[in-house]
Chains A and B, each alone.
Chain A
Amino acid sequence: MKIAVLSGKGGTGKTTVSASLKSSIENCQYIDCDVEEPNGGIFLQPEISNVYPVMVKVPEIIKDKCTGCGECAKACQFNSMAVVKGNVLIFPELCHHCGACILACPEDAMIEVERQIGVVETNSDESFMHGKLNVGEPISIPIIAMLKDMVKDDGNVVIDCPPGSSCTVVESVEDCDFCILVTEPTPFGLHDLNIAVELVKKLGLSFGIVLNKASENSKIINEYCDDRNIDILMEIPFSRKIAEAYSKGILPIEADADLKKEFGEMFRKIEGKVLA
């Protein structure tokens, strides 16, 4: 079973929930798709033994063949090229690797060359994997796609998604059996939760909510979920003990044995929903 953990708003507890869930169930693969700032490794402490470069294909001009006609720049939907005085200027970091420029070139004057944008790192049995996007690179989808290709078909998988609700999240949740939406009882948490709910609904994915930092303010989330018949799978209390443990890189389930039991129960609840 593949479970994606997303939130909309950043800092609500995606990694706390996904790393805790991974640690509460047997034979579970953990994949950190938040490749701009992967932090699951801080809590799970994997021993990285494999590093795979993530390459993308970008165009290069064969100068002798290029006539400077500009068809390549016209074909590019991402403004990654300009043609000035018969010379093609390429901005590789804006390229989305679609190959349209190569198809459009009437002179066959363009070829694809490989460029590294980051890495995928795993431990020896690939029970832990994360991606790392190079600093300054704007496009992270190819790294997430490579991580998703390495998902094991048997056993359980927890996917820690990037924040937000854009294409990186769509790529991360695709093909998952269930989505956990982590939220917090604040107006921002609710606002972005609503966007995340709309997203998973549009994608036709089953989902439930984990309410993190639950407190006397939880009403705004409870009311939202009651109105829409959305299941709150679990609540993690707003607690100093959990925050202190977190600040030392310790998961709440290690600080609180009852929580570990609750994560196990939540997993069985999700299993029941998916298999039903």
Chain B
Amino acid sequence: MKICISSSGNSMESVMDPRFGRCEFFAIVDTETNETKIIDNAAAKSGGGAGIAAGQLLVDNDIEVLITGNVGPNANDVLKAAQIKIVRGKKVSLNDNVKMFQNKELEIIEETVPSHSGMK
């Protein structure tokens, strides 16, 4: 299973970024092989529709689970269509978030936040 985490930095010790569309990096963890990969979130600098583009990035990377803080309505539409499970992570390291997810300690996010909540 491939898990994606929105991240504030480019290592697995970085803290999770609670913003989805406008976080700087995404970490992708393959739970079967334990491989990790950090990619730039090219969508973060979009004028608009960052959540949609970030959602597309996850779809293109065959992600099944997203660990993040909040998602907006448009990103939610994309992730739901792709049946990507969204869970609420904590502001701790990416490694700790993965562990917590595997121990089923993270809740599933059902509701969305308003548009542009992740704008700095």
- B49 & A94 in contact (Cβ 8 Å cutoff): yes
| B63-91 interface code vs A (CB 8 A; 1 in, 0 out) | 00000000000100110011000000000
- A79 & B81 in contact (Cβ 8 Å cutoff): no
- B52 & A79 in contact (Cβ 8 Å cutoff): yes
Among candidates B47, B55, B81, residue contacting A87 with C-beta atoms closer than 8 Å: B81
- B43 & A82 in contact (Cβ 8 Å cutoff): no
A94 CB contacts on chain B under 8 angstroms = 48-49, 52, 74
Within 8 A of B (CB), among A52-66: none
Determine the main DSSP class of A at the interface with B: mixed
Q: A79-B43, A84-B82, A85-B81 known; A91 and B52 CB under 8 Å?
A: yes
B47 CB contacts on chain A under 8 angstroms = 78
B52 CB contacts on chain A under 8 angstroms = 79-82, 89, 91, 94
- A79 & B46 in contact (Cβ 8 Å cutoff): yes
Shortest A157–chain B CB gap in Å is 31
Interface size on A, residues (CB 8 A): 14
**B4 located at the interface, meaning its Cβ lies under 8 Å from any Cβ of chain A in the complex:** no
Tier of interface size on chain B: 10 to 19
- B78 & A82 in contact (Cβ 8 Å cutoff): yes
C-alpha spacing A234/B50, complex, angstroms: 45
Shortest A96–chain B CB gap in Å is 9
C-alpha spacing A39/B63, complex, angstroms: 49
Among candidates B53, B59, B77, residue contacting A79 with C-beta atoms closer than 8 Å: B53
A81 CB contacts on chain B under 8 angstroms = 52
**B56 located at the interface, meaning its Cβ lies under 8 Å from any Cβ of chain A in the complex:** yes
- A79 & B82 in contact (Cβ 8 Å cutoff): no
A78 CB contacts on chain B under 8 angstroms = 47-49
C-alpha spacing A83/B55, complex, angstroms: 10
**A138 located at the interface, meaning its Cβ lies under 8 Å from any Cβ of chain B in the complex:** yes
- B48 & A82 in contact (Cβ 8 Å cutoff): no
**A143 located at the interface, meaning its Cβ lies under 8 Å from any Cβ of chain B in the complex:** no
**Which B residue sits closest to A136, measured CB to CB?**
B115
A84 CB contacts on chain B under 8 angstroms = 56, 59, 78, 81-82
Shortest A177–chain B CB gap in Å is 31
C-alpha spacing A49/B82, complex, angstroms: 49
Among candidates A80, A82, A85, A138, residue contacting B55 with C-beta atoms closer than 8 Å: A82
B53 CB contacts on chain A under 8 angstroms = 79, 82
Within 8 A of A (CB), among B4-57: 43, 46-50, 52-53, 55-56
**Which A residue sits closest to B54, measured CB to CB?**
A79
C-alpha spacing A87/B56, complex, angstroms: 12
- Per CB-CB distance, the 5 closest pairs between chain A and chain B, nearest first, are A79-B49, A84-B81, A79-B53, A84-B82, A82-B78
User: What are 5 of the A-B contact pairs (CB < 8 Å)?
Assistant: A79-B46, A79-B49, A79-B53, A94-B48, A94-B49
